[in-house]
Structure 1
Amino acid sequence: MRFLLTLLLVAGSGLLYPVTARQDSARLTAQWRAWLDQCWNYRFNQPDSAKYYGNKVLKEARDKGYPLYEAEALHNIGIVFEAQGDYEQALEMGLQTLALRQQLNDSAAIANTWNNIGIIYDQMGNYPRALDYYYKAYRYYQAKGDQEKLAMVSVNLGIVFKAQGEYTKVVDYYREAYTVYKALQFPAEAAFCEANLGSVFYYTRQYDSCLFYSLLAEKAFLAQNNLQSLPIAQANAGMAYFELGRPVEARQQLAKALVGHRNYNNKKEIAFVLIQLGKVHMAQKERGEAIRVLTEALSLATGIHSPKQVMDAARLLSEQYAGSGDYKNAWTVFQTYSTVKDSLFEQEKMKAITGFQAQYETEKKEQQIRLLQQEGELQALRLKQRNMLLLVLAALFITGGLAVYFIMARRRIKAEARLQAERSLQEQAAARAVLQAEDRERRRLAADLHDGVGQLLSAALLQVHRAQEQQPAGSSAAELTDKAVSLLNEGYDEMRQLSHRMMPSALLKAGLPQALREFVDRIQSRELSVELHTSGLEERLPEQTETVLYRIIQEAVNNVLKHAAASSLSIQLAKEKEGISLTVEDNGKGFDPAGLETQAGIGLKNIRSRVMLLNGTLEMDAAPGRGSLLAVFIPGEQAA
């Protein structure tokens, strides 16, 4: 669905080279020109050969001191890496090319390189950097009045704005470039513009325009034998046909696109087209074919780690399995969809935590300002004390002066101690406020889910049960109501699990030991044996202490589940006269404690913050290959 107007618009084998009077130099540069031409011609179909010839020129040009040819070789090798999708290497080649061309003070070549680097950043998803380099090239070509190059950069700018959803700007840039290329009679460039216009009109739901430009692009790519770009236009046309209610033509176009992408082993585009074909088969009630193509799409998308395509394929495939009565596979695939969806929820939760962190940092900065003011006042006091001391020394004997000095010094030490204590208290208060705000928000969200969404789902389930009882057994209406009951039950269970993760009801009603037993029961499995031992907790702890301890255990166990690959996990919680002791120990792969401070993630930071909230201590004991141990001690005043 996406095109880049690459360097074939601005660079090719017809490079300008310096003329030398020496015959051997002329033969040498002629050989380099031939190798550069081969590198360029092989860039798509034979990338290994292309890099071979490019590196030959690069080595010889460096050895013999020809920076112009060195830059051209780096440029061509970078294009080969870009065609293979190795954008890190392509960017490195591009930046080296730019440095050499800036040394040569070649303005036109510099502008060309700006555009190339913009393309690479665009492919990497770094749109601000892409726009920065594109605009540099755009301003240069605008000043030179070079309409052809200006149109090229306009297309690339349109691509960036398309990725950001600014479709009005996209259409303006594409049409401007398209008009120029048609006037200049550049068929390849005009075809790229047609394909890009077809793509953007699909996103704006202007399906007639999408079909019009996509078919123009298909015809042009066929005439130009551009078989790598051809399936993109065919896929766009197929999707437009489908949205216009013409499934037969949609299937034909998508089938052609699938063959084209398979020829180039473009797995992401193959998965995308398979999902679109799945929609067509679903619309035509061809459940078997829909399941087949969606299964392949899900496998490909999973293999290349494309979460959006995994979600799309899993959602559609789950519906098809359920429709065929294969509820086991429907549930398995739906779990895949749910896992990806949950990861998106975790991202939203992280945004909320980041918001709390930003609030904490703001308060911390304000506290630092106040502390600086207090330190300034303390400094002024020190100066005043010093002046007083000088006056006293002038009037009194040495012994009296020394006595005054020691008195003042002791006061200064006390003042500094008070200042340090206040700083520590303010930092603890800020951390406590952030964690308490987070827990309050969890309680509110859990209550809203349980009392609001939960009641609505319960009411809906009751009504559907009543409708179910009124349907004749075996009728299509009965099947539909059965499915509705199943889906409502799943939704209600998922709502309860989410509410429980926010704030377990057992913690509020029955206390910490019962909440921990329920938590352990949920994570107990064949792969992981979990033991829980509690003692001295017959009487409930303060609410804040229970909540903080539960979150510490929850965070520690989640770290074990994510990273430790353990088969055994032990949790021990004991209340004694001196305070509360907690240990979480696993037999997993362990880690190197020496790198803990630099590699610690949000989970360990949260544990430390919560331990600090209760004035407790935290210790870690681990080594690679022998598991890990987390030990927390909360002093007695927090356990009372």
Structure 2
Amino acid sequence: MSSAKGQDKIQILIDLCWEYRFSNADSARIYGLEALELARNGKLKELEGDALHNLGITHEAQGNYQEALKYELPALEIRKIIGNDLKTANTLNNLGIIHDELGNQNKALEYYFEARKIYEHLGDKSKIAMVISNIGIVLKAQGEYVKVIGYYHEALSLYKELKNEFGIAACHANLSSVFYFTQSYDSALYYALLSTDEFRSQNVRQFLPTTLSNSAQAYYKLGKTQEARKSLLEAIKLNEEFDNKFDLSEVLLILASVYRTENETKDAKETALRGLSIAESIQAKKLVMDAHLELSSIEEANGNYFASLKELKLYNMQKDSIFEQDKIRQMAELQTQYETEKKEKEISLQKFKLSEQALKIERNQAMIFGMIILFVLLLIVFILERSRGKLKEQKSKALQQQAFQKELTRSVIDLQERERSRFSQDLHDGFGSLITALKFNLENPNPEKPNTESLFNQIYDEIRNVSFALWPQVLKRDGIVQAFRELGERLNKSGKIKIEVITHGFIDLGESEIIVYRICQEWLTNILKYGSASKITIQMISHPEELIFMIEDDGNGFDTESLSLGKGNGWKNIQSRAHILKATLDIDSQRFNKGTTLTLTIPKIIEDTNREVA
């Protein structure tokens, strides 16, 4: 490059800026700034626009979106003046990316659709596929998942037609993200792993942090926390290498959540605080808000309720701040629009109306200004009153939560003592007489008494029954569906009752299965004791947003209001466990042998993938 001169040297510098835009953004900016200075000195507008565009991308890649706008907006102006449609569309695409990251989704869509119109006019299928993918990302943020999947498959079809391996990998990454939001975690994991392998084979390392983060979140939802942790740690290392502060902060907060789930609260807190510090340094307000929410959950897990409440207040303050900034921005836009219209009106009036009319306009303007001031004052009073009301409400909720936690703890202790008592009683009643009979039989053989082998078989069956009641191994080995089927088979052997288990597209519940099993087991015990039922049906149904367990019997029914008045612990135990799952309980029962139905409804609980720049 030392021998290159004039425009050739500037072009080489611009190309180097583009080449290093993701792998080493600082070096890329050195080349880009030198090219920009030389282009301006030589009054070479097209090269100046190219340098500005590439410099904007280096800032966008690191999450410095306001700095990126300072370069991309003048680049757009230059390229429109020159009349280079392809380069103009490329800058429009990148402005869409920046505004989407800043939360201005409608503005982002305006830039994307303008860019798409130019690409379609040029017949550039590769660029059409690129901007279609980016439009899909914005629509995903707006919850339009069906439309998003259609956009991604349209882009994927174009990339396959062009045999564009990078574009195919990017579409797979985007599909991973949208399937995550539709709670299709297996599909999300499949596309995340597929795109990771594709980017590795292409040596496109700058996109690996996002695909690794996507796979980690899918692993986490599927209960595979160790795999999630491994992917997140690799993503953190790569984000540090590329100095991508925004994504680094986001991945750190996800890892903190994994640590918290694994009860590693010390590591969780340190990781969340680091993510918060980075988010604050780049003024990523949404991430700052998420960090305080995660820290609130961590402090609650540690039993530090006052610290948890403090973090929750910071979360709400940040949330309100974002809301107020959006309102201020909207008001500023309205004010600008108002000022523009006012100036146009003044010019028209100056041409066609007399001085008396001008004085009237000024008087009207004063009235409008006074109304605006009054409106602003009323708005401030409203905001202050609303904030004070929110603080009172939060304090009340915190006190209610503390009281509920105490009651929940008492219920759990009662439940444990009850289980111990029942286990002791089963051992005494079941094994005591059998062991005594066995001892007597061994000491005094008698052909007319039950033989030793028969007694051993009875003891063995009793051990299996007690073991199944304590912790059914089939639940851990084969899942909740098979556990209920085995429970039904055991109860059916009595010949006194018939139990039928029906499933509809049911999925693995992970660690929550034992809680659900105990709730249903407690209710079945209640039916067998008091319900006088001859048939019980257990249905397990999976919906996109919730899981439903329904237990129906044909017994004599009961008055549901008696549950809250009863002195027993069974119903309290069921409610405590349902609260852990954030589930709802509904009972429909009628007396006079019309049966009872218990319904347990459990709500189901990645990161936008990389957009392509042009």
Q: TM-score, normalised by structure 1?
A: 0.50
Choose which of 89, 96, 113 in structure 2 pairs with 1:118. 96
Q: Distance in 1 between matches of 2:39 and 2:396?
A: 75
Tell me how far 1:154 sits from its aligned partner.
0.8
In structure 1, runs of 5+ residues without a counterpart are 1-25, 356-381, 383-415, 478-640
SS at match of 1:229: helix
Choose which of 139, 148, 152 in structure 2 pairs with 1:161. 139
* One-letter amino acid matched to 1:274: L
* One-letter amino acid matched to 2:165: P
Matching residue of 2:499: none
- From the superposition, tell whether residues 201 and 459 of structure 1 become closer, same or farther in structure 2 (CA, over 3 Å): closer
Choose which of 79, 96, 104 in structure 1 pairs with 2:57. 79
- From the superposition, tell whether residues 339 and 185 of structure 1 become closer, same or farther in structure 2 (CA, over 3 Å): same
Tell me how far 1:185 sits from its aligned partner.
1.6
- From the superposition, tell whether residues 212 and 437 of structure 1 become closer, same or farther in structure 2 (CA, over 3 Å): closer
Choose which of 42, 50, 68 in structure 2 pairs with 1:90. 68
Deviations 1:399-424 (A, max 9, x none): xxxxxxxxxxxxxxxxx9xxx9xx99
- Given that 1:318 and 1:331 are in contact with CA atoms closer than 8 Å, whether structure 2 keeps it comes out as no
Tell me how far 1:335 sits from its aligned partner.
0.8
Choose which of 247, 250, 255 in structure 2 pairs with 1:272. 250
Q: Distance in 2 between matches of 1:90 and 1:446?
A: 38
Matching residue of 1:197: 175
Matching residue of 1:338: 313
- Given that 1:310 and 1:337 are in contact with CA atoms closer than 8 Å, whether structure 2 keeps it comes out as no
- From the superposition, tell whether residues 252 and 153 of structure 1 become closer, same or farther in structure 2 (CA, over 3 Å): same
- From the superposition, tell whether residues 152 and 437 of structure 1 become closer, same or farther in structure 2 (CA, over 3 Å): closer
- From the superposition, tell whether residues 424 and 228 of structure 1 become closer, same or farther in structure 2 (CA, over 3 Å): closer
- Given that 2:289 and 2:319 are in contact with CA atoms closer than 8 Å, whether structure 1 keeps it comes out as no
Choose which of 235, 257, 279 in structure 1 pairs with 2:213. 235
Query: Is 2:43 the counterpart of 1:68?
Result: no
Q: Distance in 1 between matches of 2:9 and 2:230?
A: 47
Matching residue of 1:263: 241
- The 5 A counterparts of 1:370-385 are none
- The 5 A counterparts of 1:24-103 are 28-103=6-81
- From the superposition, tell whether residues 429 and 147 of structure 1 become closer, same or farther in structure 2 (CA, over 3 Å): closer
Deviations 1:5-40 (A, max 9, x none): xxxxxxxxxxxxxxxxxxxxx974444433332232
- Given that 1:314 and 1:333 are in contact with CA atoms closer than 8 Å, whether structure 2 keeps it comes out as no
Higher RCO (CA < 8 A, seq sep 6+) = 2
SS at match of 2:22: coil
Tell me how far 1:472 sits from its aligned partner.
7.8
Matching residue of 1:223: 201
- From the superposition, tell whether residues 250 and 437 of structure 1 become closer, same or farther in structure 2 (CA, over 3 Å): closer
- From the superposition, tell whether residues 352 and 476 of structure 1 become closer, same or farther in structure 2 (CA, over 3 Å): farther
Deviations 1:543-566 (A, max 9, x none): xxxxxxxxxxxxxxxxxxxxxxxx
- Given that 1:115 and 1:137 are in contact with CA atoms closer than 8 Å, whether structure 2 keeps it comes out as yes
- From the superposition, tell whether residues 85 and 289 of structure 1 become closer, same or farther in structure 2 (CA, over 3 Å): closer
- Given that 1:258 and 1:274 are in contact with CA atoms closer than 8 Å, whether structure 2 keeps it comes out as yes
Matching residue of 1:141: 119
* One-letter amino acid matched to 1:150: I
- The 5 A counterparts of 1:608-627 are none
Q: Distance in 2 between matches of 1:444 and 1:100?
A: 47
Matching residue of 1:600: none
Matching residue of 1:129: 107
- From the superposition, tell whether residues 213 and 428 of structure 1 become closer, same or farther in structure 2 (CA, over 3 Å): closer
Q: Distance in 1 between matches of 2:58 and 2:312?
A: 36
Q: TM-score, normalised by structure 2?
A: 0.51
- From the superposition, tell whether residues 264 and 446 of structure 1 become closer, same or farther in structure 2 (CA, over 3 Å): closer
- From the superposition, tell whether residues 148 and 88 of structure 1 become closer, same or farther in structure 2 (CA, over 3 Å): same
SS at match of 2:206: coil
Tell me how far 1:196 sits from its aligned partner.
1.8
User: Identity across aligned pairs (percent)?
Assistant: 34
SS at match of 2:173: helix
Tell me how far 1:444 sits from its aligned partner.
12
Q: Distance in 2 between matches of 1:35 and 1:440?
A: 55
- Given that 1:155 and 1:193 are in contact with CA atoms closer than 8 Å, whether structure 2 keeps it comes out as yes
Q: Distance in 1 between matches of 2:44 and 2:396?
A: 77
How many equivalent pairs are there? 385
- Given that 1:195 and 1:213 are in contact with CA atoms closer than 8 Å, whether structure 2 keeps it comes out as yes
Tell me how far 1:89 sits from its aligned partner.
4.2
- Given that 2:292 and 2:315 are in contact with CA atoms closer than 8 Å, whether structure 1 keeps it comes out as no
Matching residue of 1:254: 232
Q: Distance in 2 between matches of 1:33 and 1:456?
A: 63
- The 5 A counterparts of 1:339-354 are 339-344=314-319
* One-letter amino acid matched to 1:244: L
RMSD (Å) for aligned C-alpha atoms:
4.9
- Given that 1:311 and 1:337 are in contact with CA atoms closer than 8 Å, whether structure 2 keeps it comes out as no
* One-letter amino acid matched to 1:243: K
- Given that 1:278 and 1:289 are in contact with CA atoms closer than 8 Å, whether structure 2 keeps it comes out as yes
